């Protein structure tokens, strides 16, 4: 019995030393749930070519990610909303936002007898979610959809009950469209909606829209496409009606590159241009500019290498997963930003 | 809840007043006894410590919310986790302050009031009792008075089995079966009836009912509390002395009259059973969250979406990102805990306390 135990122990020790011999670098990230599918895919792909780097991303929500990076309990955070001034102040050191992909929010609707493609503009959408427009055959909706017949069904707006980056993007967009909405409902990860029904997560809102004739809810693009729910074509800042797609979202991202001088955390909702879809936002990976908190120069190098890979080669997987890739000028800005990251004062990129 | 129920089920009128065997630990072989005594004592203490620490942690964590909102937390119906833009901020000389080319605004801080969810919990629980009490008392009377021996056991088992179905399973049934059914067949007709009936117009929902509202929440809670009320009511009715029932029959009472006497005789126990059902309804979370519509509002119509305390916690806790938001949610949890505790204490007093005293009097 005892000899058996000893043997087992010896095997265990051997196994342990085997792991150590590989000199594995382990990176831990946590945060936003929205980009989680593509982050997991990136990690799996990256590990194929870099078996010595192990990356673990936990989708605990943007708030949890920001908390983690502020307390330096994780190596990088994922967040849909850039850190607020208050959060930046709490973080202490200088923070860098790295856009990884862009996502879009669509207004998914359920109108069983409606033929054709629903068209909406920002002010109308704001009034619907504000409870000012309550019937589908309202003249304001009808004016945008000439030649179609809209039913006299009541509108049930559907929204997220949990704090989320999706709500953040959607309310910020509506606030640019209607001052009334901005002052009464406001913007944020979670707001007090004046009317309608709440669901938890994209799946909760999707369930309400699918189960309720007359419902309109905001969900991420991939939820609407995967569940095959119709969503509205939106009128953008330049008056063009644009269907949401990875390409039209990428176009919105490209349009914002001019604002990226000070920080990469820029709003891309309500962008003009012929092809820009207006309810879009980047999602970010957040790190400190000086990676000294990683305690290990090898880790700092591995993190920068991974981010470089994700924002260049990794972008090719974005479209098939319904995320918008970073446009070339944005990729250039990201590369510049990654080059400025330091390890205790000296550039990481140069370190071996 | 199941524990409370099985305790009650075990507590019949024949329960002795004290433990049948006292552990003394003085005999030669008493080491085992002494150890066992300490182990059991320790277990009891740990269980009580768990409750104490639960309450104290909740109380401690809700201090920021209690400090900020005070009693107003219970009376305000504004649940808004985001800040709102307010008046432009001005410096000492009254000039606007600019930052990055934009006017800096004073922000109206987030505000939290629990009245809508206290209302939601209360109304949905009362609706649940409206559905469940007649059903449960009927089933309990059937099991004690009409059902023949061979049918009692399987029917009791099936009713109690309802209590073992996980809440989330009820929720899924509620979302995919009950809500669409209500939305298609029940609510439009009822809503029309409310809308055209003078005196009931305030109950009508102005928009299209969706099947996920206070009514659906109350209904699903009703289904969930039926097994508890039935099981306890059956035991309470069984404890009615046989001579009491025979006496009424001897005096020429019909079946219904003697049943009425039976119900009257055990009314405090039955009330306790209902209170236990109420306690479960108030604390129930997942199933309600899926069908109640999750809107923190107070609306007269049963077809308006609502929110209960527990569904609010299920919806918001994981992603609450500010300290005051978390603290407000924890205060809601504390209020819910105290409410459930009160229901349970009252129920126990009525079912067990009075029951054993009246049994002792016989």
| Every domain of chain A and the residues it spans | 24-101+281-347, 104-259
* Assigned token pair, B270: 């039955």
Distance CA A101, CA A38 (A): 9
pLDDT of residue A296: 86
For residue A66, the chain B residue with the least C-alpha distance is B321
Identify residues of B whose CB sits under 8 angstroms from chain A CBs: 78-85, 175, 179-180, 183, 206-208, 210-212, 289, 293-296, 305, 307, 314-316, 318-321
Report chain A residues whose CB lies below 8 A from the CB of B180: 211
The per-residue pLDDT for range B139-188, each reduced to its tens digit, is 999 999 888 888 988 998 998 888 889 999 999 999 999 999 999 999 99
Residue B180 near residue B213, CB atoms below 8 Å: no
CB burial readout B127-164, b (16+ within 10 A) else e: bbbebbbeebbebbbebbeebeeeeeeeebeebbebbe
pLDDT of residue A261: 84
* Assigned token pair, A15: 């196994």
* Assigned token pair, B68: 């900020």
Q: How far is CA B315 from CA A282, B124, B230, B292, B319, in A?
A: 25, 17, 31, 12, 8
User: To the nearest whole angstrom, how far is the Cα of A12 from the nearest Cα of chain B?
Assistant: 36
Mutate: best of B294, B299, B301, B311, partner A, most A CBs <10 A: B294
A-to-B residue pairs, Cβ atoms closer than 8 angstroms: 100
Interchain pair A62, B79: CB under 8 A: no
Distance CA A253, CA A324 (A): 9
Please provide the average confidence, as pLDDT, over all residues in chain B: 86
Interchain pair B319, A198: CB under 8 A: no
**Structure ipTM:** 0.80
Distance CA A159, CA A21 (A): 51
The per-residue pLDDT for range A34-72, each reduced to its tens digit, is 899 999 999 999 999 999 999 999 988 888 899 899 999
Question: Which residue, among A60, A82, A87, has the nearest Cα to A168 in the 3D structure?
Answer: A82
Question: Which residue, among A302, A286, A308, A282, has the nearest Cα to A68 in the 3D structure?
Answer: A286
Q: How confident is the model at residue B132 (pLDDT cuts 50, 70, 90)?
A: very high
Q: Calculate mean pLDDT across residues A217-239.
A: 93
pTM: 0.84
CATH topology of domain A24-101+281-347: D-Maltodextrin-Binding Protein; domain 2 (3.40.190)
B189 pLDDT higher than 70: yes
Report chain B residues whose CB lies below 8 A from the CB of A188: 81-83
Distance CA B183, CA B207 (A): 12
Give the count of beta carbons closer than 10 Å to the beta carbon of residue A336: 11
The per-residue pLDDT for range A11-35, each reduced to its tens digit, is 554 444 444 445 688 999 999 888 9
Question: Which residue, among A103, A102, A94, has the nearest Cα to A287 in the 3D structure?
Answer: A94
Domains A24-101+281-347 and A104-259 share a fold: yes
pLDDT of residue A57: 95
Interchain pair A61, B318: CB under 8 A: yes
User: To the nearest whole angstrom, how far is the Cα of B327 from the nearest Cα of chain A?
Assistant: 15
Give the count of beta carbons closer than 10 Å to the beta carbon of residue A231: 25
As to burial, measured by CB atoms within 10 angstroms (0-12 exposed, 13-18 middle, 19+ buried), residue A23 is exposed
CATH 3.30.950.10 assigned to domain A104-259? The reply is: no
Dihedrals φ, ψ of A151, to 5°?
-75, 160
Residue B190 near residue B301, CB atoms below 8 Å: no
Report chain A residues whose CB lies below 8 A from the CB of B210: 156, 197, 208, 211-212, 215
3-state secondary structure of A49: helix
Report chain B residues whose CB lies below 8 A from the CB of A61: 318-319, 321
* Assigned token pair, B190: 């009822």
Distance CA A314, CA A334 (A): 13
Fill in the DSSP letter of residue A114.
Answer: -
Interchain pair B319, A61: CB under 8 A: yes
The per-residue pLDDT for range A283-318, each reduced to its tens digit, is 999 999 999 898 888 899 999 999 999 999 999 999
Distance CA B195, CA B187 (A): 12
Interchain pair B85, A163: CB under 8 A: no
Report chain A residues whose CB lies below 8 A from the CB of B316: 161-163, 190
Chain CA centroid to CA B195, Å: 31
Distance CA A82, CA A96 (A): 10
B18 pLDDT higher than 70: no
Q: How confident is the model at residue A101 (pLDDT cuts 50, 70, 90)?
A: very high
For residue B213, the chain A residue with the least C-alpha distance is A197
Residue A100 near residue A283, CB atoms below 8 Å: yes
**Cα-Cα-Cα-Cα dihedral of A324, A329, A334, A336, to 10°?**
170
For residue A135, the chain B residue with the least C-alpha distance is B207
């Amino acid at each position: 019995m005892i000899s058996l135990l000893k043997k087992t122990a010896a095997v265990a020790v051997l196994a342990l030393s085997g792991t150590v011999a590989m000199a594995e670098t382990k990176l831990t990230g946590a945060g936003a749930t929205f980009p989680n599918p593509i982050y997991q895919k990136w990690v799996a792909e990256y590990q194929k070519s870099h078996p010595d780097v192990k990356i673990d991303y936990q989708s605990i929500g943007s708030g949890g990610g920001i908390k983690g990076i502020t307390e330096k309990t994780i190596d990088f955070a994922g967040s849909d909303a850039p850190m607020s001034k208050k959060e930046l102040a709490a973080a202490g050191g200088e923070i860098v936002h790295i856009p990884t992909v862009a996502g879009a929010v669509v207004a998914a609707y359920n109108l069983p007898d409606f033929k054709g493609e629903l068209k909406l503009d920002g002010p109308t959408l704001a009034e619907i979610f504000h409870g000012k427009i309550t019937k589908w055959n309202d003249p304001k909706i009808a004016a945008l959809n000439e030649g179609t017949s809209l039913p006299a069904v009541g509108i049930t707006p559907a929204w997220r009950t949990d704090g989320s980056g999706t709500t953040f993007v959607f309310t910020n967009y509506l606030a640019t469209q209607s001052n009334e909405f901005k002052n009464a409902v406001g913007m944020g990860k979670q707001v007090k909606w004046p009317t309608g029904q709440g669901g938890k997560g994209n799946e909760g809102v999707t369930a309400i829209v699918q189960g309720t004739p007359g419902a309109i809810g905001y969900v991420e693009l991939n939820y609407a496409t995967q569940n095959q729910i119709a969503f509205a074509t939106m009128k953008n800042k330049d008056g063009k009606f644009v269907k949401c797609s990875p390409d039209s979202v990428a176009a919105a991202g490209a349009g914002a590159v001019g604002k990226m001088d000070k920080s990469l955390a820029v709003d891309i909702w309500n962008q003009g241009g012929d092809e820009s879809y207006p309810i879009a936002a980047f999602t970010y990976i957040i790190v400190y500019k000086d990676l000294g908190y990683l305690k290990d120069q090898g880790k700092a190098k591995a993190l920068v290498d991974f981010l470089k890979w994700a924002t260049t080669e990794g972008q090719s997987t974005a479209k098939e997963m319904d995320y918008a890739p970073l446009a070339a000028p944005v990729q250039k800005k990201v590369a510049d930003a990654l080059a400025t990251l330091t390890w205790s004062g000296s550039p990481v990129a140069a370190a071996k | 809840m199941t524990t409370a129920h099985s305790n009650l089920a075990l507590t019949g009128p024949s329960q002795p007043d004290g433990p049948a065997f006292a552990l003394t630990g003085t005999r030669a072989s008493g080491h085992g006894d002494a150890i066992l005594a300490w182990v059991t004592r320790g277990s009891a203490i740990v269980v009580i410590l768990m409750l104490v620490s639960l309450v104290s942690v909740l109380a401690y964590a809700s201090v920021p919310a209690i400090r900020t909102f005070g009693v107003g937390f219970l009376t305000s119906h504004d649940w808004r986790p985001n800040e709102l833009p307010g008046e432009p901020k001005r410096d000492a000389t009254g000039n606007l302050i600019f930052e990055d080319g934009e006017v800096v605004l004073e922000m109206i801080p987030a505000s939290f009031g629990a009245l809508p969810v206290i209302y939601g919990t209360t109304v949905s629980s009362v609706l649940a009792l409206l559905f469940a009490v007649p059903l449960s008392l009927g089933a309990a009377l059937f099991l004690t008075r009409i059902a023949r021996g061979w049918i009692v056991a399987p029917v009791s088992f099936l009713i109690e089995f309802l209590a073992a179905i996980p809440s989330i399973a009820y929720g899924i049934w509620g979302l995919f079966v009950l809500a669409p059914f209500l939305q298609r067949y029940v609510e439009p007709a009822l809503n029309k009836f409310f809308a055209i009936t003078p005196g009931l117009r305030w109950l009508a929902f102005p928009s299209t009912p969706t099947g996920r509202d206070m009514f659906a929440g109350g209904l699903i809670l009703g289904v969930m509390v039926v097994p508890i009320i039935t099981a306890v009511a059956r035991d309470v009715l069984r404890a009615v002395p046989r001579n009491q029932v025979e006496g009424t029959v001897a005096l020429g009472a019909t079946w219904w009259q003697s049943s009425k006497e039976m119900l009257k005789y055990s009314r405090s126990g039955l009330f306790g059973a209902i209170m236990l059902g109420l306690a479960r309804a108030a604390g129930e979370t997942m199933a309600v969250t899926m069908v109640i519509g999750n809107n923190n509002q107070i609306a007269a119509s049963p077809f308006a979406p609502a929110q209960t305390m527990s569904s609010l916690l299920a919806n918001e806790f994981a992603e609450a990102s500010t300290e005051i938001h978390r603290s407000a949610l924890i205060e809601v949890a504390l209020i819910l805990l105290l409410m459930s505790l009160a229901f349970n204490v009252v129920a126990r007093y009525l079912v067990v306390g009075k029951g054993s005293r009246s049994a002792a009097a016989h």
